């Protein structure tokens, strides 16, 4: 926060002790041409500020001896100060508003810290509360450790998928993910990963997944044919993305190592 541009003092407004500013100090900082008394009274009337809610008044004797006189002091809430600063356009108004926002933030932080310290101290002085907090912490730690242990095999499987070399057909990918090929291909179609080509009737990958490196197309010529055909293949990156998506969708999968599957497939 900037240095104290405008002095802030805590005063009671509406039964609460809140940070306040002297309207005369704000008036001087904003460099308003109108005399202070007229300026603040007009602002109160124009914008509907209420005494006891937005500000409080007090009197202050200025000068010494017979030359002294009473001056009305308007103590404004920071919120009212922000609004007055916004009305006075220009860099001074913006600077004052940012300063008041920083003051409000500092006041909130100062209010939270003592409450937190009091809560901690109260817990330390009350054994049953302290025991309950320790039990909660222990339970949370045990749940976390259990979750980590539960996820470890699947995380290792994902690592194996990421390390797989080369692309695989949709039938191979279905086996790796522990799904029936027909169900897997139907799911890919519904999820907008693949679609049927109108001419050849073969499956093709949607552009957003080929661009993302999840799918690729392998062109081949079937035996006994002179016409090229395109086969959609799933890359290792796409396999990991699919496994994650299937997990989030809570679909039954039994992720296998690609190496293990290929051994089964080739045997």
Kindly write down the DSSP assignment for every residue of 11-39, as one continuous string: EEETTEEEEEEEHHHHHHHHT-SS-HHHH
| Residue 260 clears pLDDT 50, i.e. is over it | no
101 and 175 assigned to the same domain: no
Query: Is 63 within a domain?
Result: yes
106 and 186 assigned to the same domain: no
pLDDT given at position 37: 92
Query: Is 124 within a domain?
Result: no
Residues 6+ apart with CB under 8 A from 238: 209, 212, 213, 214, 215
Residues pairing with 231 in the sheet: 218
| Lowest-pLDDT choice from 24-33, 43-52, 146-155 | 146-155
Q: How confident is the model at residue 217 (pLDDT cuts 50, 70, 90)?
A: confident
166 and 106 assigned to the same domain: no
Domain end among 93, 110, 127: 110
Q: Considering only CA atoms, which of 64, 62, 79 is closest in space to residue 26? A: 79
Domain end among 76, 110, 144: 110
| Residue 252 clears pLDDT 70, i.e. is over it | no
CB 88 within 8 A of CB 32: yes
Query: Is 149 within a domain?
Result: no
106 and 164 assigned to the same domain: no
Domain end among 74, 95, 110: 110
Residues 6+ apart with CB under 8 A from 13: 20, 52, 53, 54, 55, 56, 75, 77
Query: Is 144 within a domain?
Result: no
199 phi and psi, to 5 degrees?
A: -85, -55
| Residue 154 clears pLDDT 50, i.e. is over it | yes
98 and 166 assigned to the same domain: no
Q: In angstroms, rounded to a whole number, what is the distance separating the alpha carbons of residues 233 and 172?
A: 10
Query: Is 139 within a domain?
Result: no
99 and 41 assigned to the same domain: yes
pLDDT given at position 52: 93
Q: What mean pLDDT do residues 71-91 have?
A: 89
Q: In angstroms, rounded to a whole number, what is the distance separating the alpha carbons of residues 103 and 78?
A: 8
Give the domain extent around 52: 8-110
Query: Is 115 within a domain?
Result: no
87 and 162 assigned to the same domain: no
Query: Is 137 within a domain?
Result: no
164 and 230 assigned to the same domain: yes
162 and 262 assigned to the same domain: yes
| Residue 57 clears pLDDT 70, i.e. is over it | yes
Q: Strand ranges (DSSP E) for the chain?
A: 8-13, 16-22, 55-62, 69-77, 168-169, 194-196, 203-205, 215-220, 229-234
CB 262 within 8 A of CB 176: no
181 and 245 assigned to the same domain: yes
pLDDT given at position 262: 36
| Residue 257 clears pLDDT 50, i.e. is over it | no
| Residue 61 clears pLDDT 80, i.e. is over it | no
178 and 260 assigned to the same domain: yes
Query: Is 46 within a domain?
Result: yes
Q: What are the tens digits of pLDDT across the range 160-214?
A: 555 555 788 899 888 877 888 999 899 899 989 999 877 657 888 999 998 998 9
Count of domains for the chain: 2
Determine the Cα angle at 81 with ends 80 and 86, to 5°. Answer: 100
Q: What are the tens digits of pLDDT across the range 95-140?
A: 998 888 888 888 777 665 555 556 656 656 666 665 666 667 777 7
Tokens representing 24 are 């005369």
Q: In angstroms, rounded to a whole number, what is the distance separating the alpha carbons of residues 37 and 224?
A: 100
């Amino acid at each position: 926060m900037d240095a104290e541009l405008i002095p802030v003092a805590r005063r009671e407004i509406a039964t609460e002790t809140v940070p306040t500013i002297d309207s005369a100090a704000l008036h001087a900082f904003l460099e308003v041409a109108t005399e202070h008394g007229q300026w603040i009274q007009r602002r109160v009337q124009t914008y509907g500020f209420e005494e006891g809610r937005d500000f409080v008044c007090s009197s202050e004797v200025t000068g010494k001896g017979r030359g002294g006189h009473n001056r009305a002091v308007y103590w404004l809430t920071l919120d009212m100060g922000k609004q007055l600063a916004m009305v006075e356009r220009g860099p001074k108004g913006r600077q004052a508003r940012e300063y008041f926002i920083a003051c409000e933030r500092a006041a909130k932080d100062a209010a939270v810290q003592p409450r937190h310290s009091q809560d901690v101290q109260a817990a330390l002085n009350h054994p049953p509360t302290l025991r309950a907090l320790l039990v909660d912490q222990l339970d949370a730690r045990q749940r976390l450790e259990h979750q980590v242990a539960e996820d470890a095999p699947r995380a290792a499987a994902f690592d194996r998928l990421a390390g797989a070399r080369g692309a695989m057909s949709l039938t191979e990918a279905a086996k790796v993910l522990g799904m029936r090929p027909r169900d897997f291909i139907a799911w890919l179609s519904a999820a907008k990963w693949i679609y049927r080509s109108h001419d050849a009737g073969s499956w093709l990958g949607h552009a957003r997944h080929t661009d993302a490196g999840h799918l690729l197309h392998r062109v081949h010529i079937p035996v006994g044919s002179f016409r090229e055909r395109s086969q959609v293949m799933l890359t290792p990156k796409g396999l990991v993305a699919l496994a994650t998506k299937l997990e989030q969708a809570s679909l039954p999968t039994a992720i296998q190592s690609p190496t293990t599957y290929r051994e089964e497939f080739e045997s």
